[in-house]
Amino acid sequence: MPVEKFYYDNKIVKWFGYATMLWGIVGMLAGLWVAIQFYAPGAALNFAPTTFGRLRPVHTNAIIFAFVGNCIFTGVYYSLQRLCKARMFSDRLSRIHFWGWQGIIVAAALTLLLGYTTGKEYAELEWPIDIAITLVWVVFGINLFGTIIKRREKHLYVAIWFYIATWVTVALLHIVNSVEIPVSLFKSYSWYAGVQDALVQWWYGHNAVAFFLTTPILGLMYYFLPKAANRPVYSYRLSIIHFWALIFIYIWAGPHHLLYTALPDWAQSLGVVFSVMLIAPSWGGMLNGLFTLRGAWDKVREDPVLKFFVVVVTCYGMATFEGPMLALKNVNAISHFTDWTIAHVHIGGLGWNGFMAFGMLYWLIPRMWGTPLYSKKLATNHFWLGTIGIVIYTVPLYWAGFTQAQMWKTFTEEGQLKFQFLETVTHIIPMYVTRSIGGSLYLIGAFLMVYNLAKTIRKGYFIADEVCEAAPLEKQTSHVREYWHRWIESRPMTLLVFSLIVVAIGGAIEMIPTFLVKSNVPTIASVKPYTPLELQGRDIYVREGCYTCHSQMVRPFRDEVARYGEYSKAGEFVYDHPFQWGSKRTGPDLARVGGKYPDSWHYNHMMDPRIMSPGSIMPSYSWLLDNKIDTASTPAKIRAMQTLGVPYPKGYDKIANNDLMTQANSIRLSLKMDKIETPKDAEIVALIAYLQRLGKDIKAMPKEQTAKN
């Protein structure tokens, strides 16, 4: 068989590599900025786009989809060509993929800063961007499978399986979770409501962690770790078990984000069981990575790349041990809604994803520019700065989370709550300061890397097309009976279909019952649709990202019932498109805030939170006092809600604004009684209307009836 000469495309790898560095720095800067706002609320600059509620989604989206996303594409485009012994299927598709993805990132950053958001964590982007993501993802898929099909290597190495599973599952997750009904160019409502929306969202949210932040990175680990250590993976058999077990189990684990909420019990238990099972494949993979370094530990001492990879694998092990623990209901009762979760995800984000990106770039760039790294010493310094940064970041937050949960749950001997919510926040502020110091160290390390790699690039000469030779694939002529797995393995499309079936079964069983029996989410007769003014107020609540700090979910615990009121029921959320349960309580829960304070309290509190609660770390929302309610959008919003099944009377869209003005006027008058003059069409009026509605419906019904639900 004659060998063929061909060239690997390094140019696309270079572009994605540059993008990884750029967005990494941007995402980390955004992270540091929001971290500082925890102890210096003035850092929000009293400017809407730079408040926590809008910057935090910028940080999370930039890190997940821009930094880690580009890191994945860098690694995939490099390793896939080499593992398939083929150039990428199409250079043009590679370019479309690259520019398409960067365009999406820029559009995402701008729209999020401007307050265009769906209000669903990690899926905040509005519908036109969702469509763009789908298209670019398809382009990536064609390029991926095209390359696999024209490969010159018979076997598909396990890294490619991880890439395939990533592609197919992310497509499924993105499409299912993004079903929304557009109201205008940059506003839509989630198709699902309340409990169902929560279930779909966290099925998505958890699997975004699984199939965007984990499986593709595992693929990279199975390629770059053996490369850097110059030895094959410890156990290839284990890697196969790792793969199938991981994708099979991960897809079920989402509901562990909703323990003790109004989600049906069985779904919660399902999430717990599968989360605990996950520890087996995760640790199998972790040990596989660690043992690959067996006998190469002397190299770890010298090679900064291997140093990064040791922490990568260790953090993977730590995060995947902690994950199942946090999914246990008794642990989750303490950790949920606190900074514990933030510490947990940053072990993964900083240690697993970030360090993988750094290690990979330190390995790739010298090779693609045909020159040794500019400074090993600087890279080693980066490693130590980053590692110490991770420790200083996470340890105080674990402490903060645990402390705050204990304070929330402490009662005096007389049976009263011992601490005001605000006291539990001010108590942990020193931990927030320390956290941002840890983050700064990590960021300085990243800057060192950019400098080091820029120097390396300047010194070397870029090899745009790397030459390689290999024989083309022989047509299968052997009649030897093949084992079924070998059969799948040489058929990438079959592998694709199998992974899809595997993840679809999990997703379907988890979600279908709550959907089919919509009427079975016990309805509460007194729960009514929002008034037009409240609906507008709710959209302002979503726009400002209030859910990033406030939950709307009272769990059935003694302390929460004492602090906030009756625990939340599934039937209360049937008109919530999207649900706003939240995942973190930097501020108190708002599920029962309606009627707790007078209208004027909310007015003053939004103008400057520290007037009403000294020591509060909430940003000021003074622009809400001046902005006018977008009443022109009311009819379209009512119609969209009607399409989604919210029972507004027929033709209500035409008269909704009359009701809106009547209600707004009554709030204006109530504010006037407290000597506050405001136009009735100010946004603050709508927001007050919404906040005063929260949790009120359920109070209108007899006690026994609520208890039954």
Partner 1 sequence: MKFINYLEKITGVSIYPLASFMIFGLFFLVMLIWVIKADKKTIQNISRIPLD
Residue 538 in tokens: 């709710």
Of 8-16, 234-242, 342-350, 587-595: span binding partner 1 (CB under 8 A) = 234-242
Choosing from 7, 99, 155, 302, the residue that interacts with partner 1 (CB under 8 A) is 155
Tell me: does residue 509 bind partner 1 (CB under 8 A).
yes
Separation CA 240–CA 248 (nearest Å) = 12
Is residue 92 near partner 1 by the rule CB under 8 A? no
Q: How far is the CB of 120 from partner 1 (least distance, A)?
A: 23
Question: What whole-number distance in Å separates Cα of residue 210 and Cα of residue 206?
Answer: 6
117/288 with CB nearer partner 1: 288
CB nearer to partner 1: pick between 7 and 266? 266
Q: How far apart are CA 673 and CA 695, in angstroms?
A: 25
Q: Note whether 248 binds partner 1 by CB under 8 A.
A: yes
Span of 185-193, 229-237, 389-397, 647-655 interacting with partner 1 by CB under 8 A: 229-237
Strands 465-470 and 4-9: antiparallel
* 62 vs 88, beta carbon nearer partner 1: 88
With a CB cutoff of 8 Å and minimum separation 6, the contacts of 197 are: 120, 190, 573, 576, 577, 578, 579
User: Is residue 707 a contact residue for partner 1 (CB under 8 A)?
Assistant: no
474 burial level (CB within 10 Å; 0-12, 13-18, 19+)? exposed
Residue 249 token pair: 């189990």
CB atoms within 10 A of CB 558: 11
Nearest-CA neighbor of 221 among 282, 280, 169, 168?
Answer: 282
Question: By CB under 8 A, which span of 161-169, 218-226, 344-352, 607-615 interacts with partner 1?
Answer: 218-226
Residue closer to partner 1 by CB (options 266, 462) is 266
Q: Smallest Cα–Cα separation from 690: which of 534, 469, 524? A: 534
CA-to-CA distance for 606 and 589, rounded, in angstroms? Answer: 16
Q: Is 226 in the site for partner 1 (CB under 8 A)?
A: yes
Q: Which stretch binds partner 1 (CB under 8 A): 65-73, 221-229, 393-401, 433-441?
A: 221-229
Minimum separation from the CB atom of position 148 to partner 1 (A):
13
Task: Give the nearest distance from C-beta 520 to partner 1 in angstroms.
Answer: 6
> Cα separation of 215 and 514, whole Å?
28
Q: By rule CB under 8 A, what count of residues binds partner 1?
A: 40
Q: 58-80: b or e for each residue (b if 16 or more CB lie within 10 Å)?
A: bbbbbbbbbbbbbbbbbbbbbbb
Residue 391, interface with partner 1 (CB under 8 A)? no
DSSP H helical ranges for 251-375: 265-277, 279-292, 297-302, 304-326, 329-335, 339-346, 355-368
> Could you say whether residue 107 binds partner 1 (CB under 8 A)?
no
**Segment 346 to 375, residues that bind partner 1, using CB under 8 A:** none
With respect to partner 1, which residue has the nearer C-beta, 458 or 485?
A: 485
Piece in contact with partner 1 (CB under 8 A), picked from 75-83, 369-377, 536-544, 598-606 = 75-83
Under 8 Å between Cβ of 136 and 106: no
Q: What does each C-alpha distance from 360 to 244, 289, 315, 353, 564 come to in angstroms?
A: 25, 15, 16, 11, 48
Q: Is 420 left (phi over 0), alpha (psi -120 to 50) or beta?
A: beta
How far is it, in rounded angstroms, from Cα 255 to Cα 257?
5
**Quick one: 2 or 232, whose CB is closer to partner 1?**
232
| Adjacent-strand bridge partners of 337 | 584
Indicate which single residue of 95, 231, 596, 696 sits in contact with partner 1 (rule: CB under 8 A).
231
Contacts with 215 (C-beta within 8 Å, 6 or more apart), sequence order: 162, 165, 166, 169, 246, 247
Applying CB under 8 A, which part among 263-271, 304-312, 433-441, 458-466 lies near partner 1? Answer: 263-271
From candidates 245, 280, 300, 612, binder to partner 1 by CB under 8 A: 245
The least CB distance from residue 597 to partner 1, in Å, is 33
Task: For partner 1, give the closer residue by CB, 72 or 667.
Answer: 72
Structure-token match 């993004």, residue found:
178
CB atoms near residue 508 (< 10 Å)? 12
Taking residues 159 to 178 in sequence order and writing x for each that binds partner 1 by CB under 8 A, - otherwise, the string is x-------------------
Q: Is the peptide bond before 255 cis (omega within 30 degrees of 0)?
A: no
Q: Which is nearer to partner 1, 62 or 165 (CB)?
A: 165
Which of 193, 247, 238 has the alpha carbon at shortest distance from 216? 247
Site for partner 1 in 489-508 (CB under 8 A): 502, 505
Nearer to partner 1, 227 or 528 (CB): 227
* Span of 27-35, 150-158, 185-193, 366-374 interacting with partner 1 by CB under 8 A: 150-158
Binding mask 514-543 for partner 1 (x = CB under 8 A): x-xx--x-x---------------------
Report the residue number, 82 or 696, with the smaller CB distance to partner 1: 82
Return the residue of 484, 677, 702, 708 that touches partner 1, per CB under 8 A: 484
Residue 230 within binding range of partner 1, rule CB under 8 A:
yes
264 binds partner 1 (CB under 8 A): yes
Cβ 83 to partner 1, closest distance in Å? 6
Q: Which of 76, 83, 533, 591 is in the footprint of partner 1 by CB under 8 A? A: 83
570 counts as binding partner 1 under rule CB under 8 A: yes
Element (H, E) at 436: helix 429-459
Q: Interface residues with partner 1 (CB under 8 A)? A: 79, 82-83, 153, 155, 157-159, 222-223, 226-227, 230-233, 236-237, 240-241, 244-245, 248, 264-266, 483-486, 502, 505, 509, 513-514, 516-517, 520, 522, 570
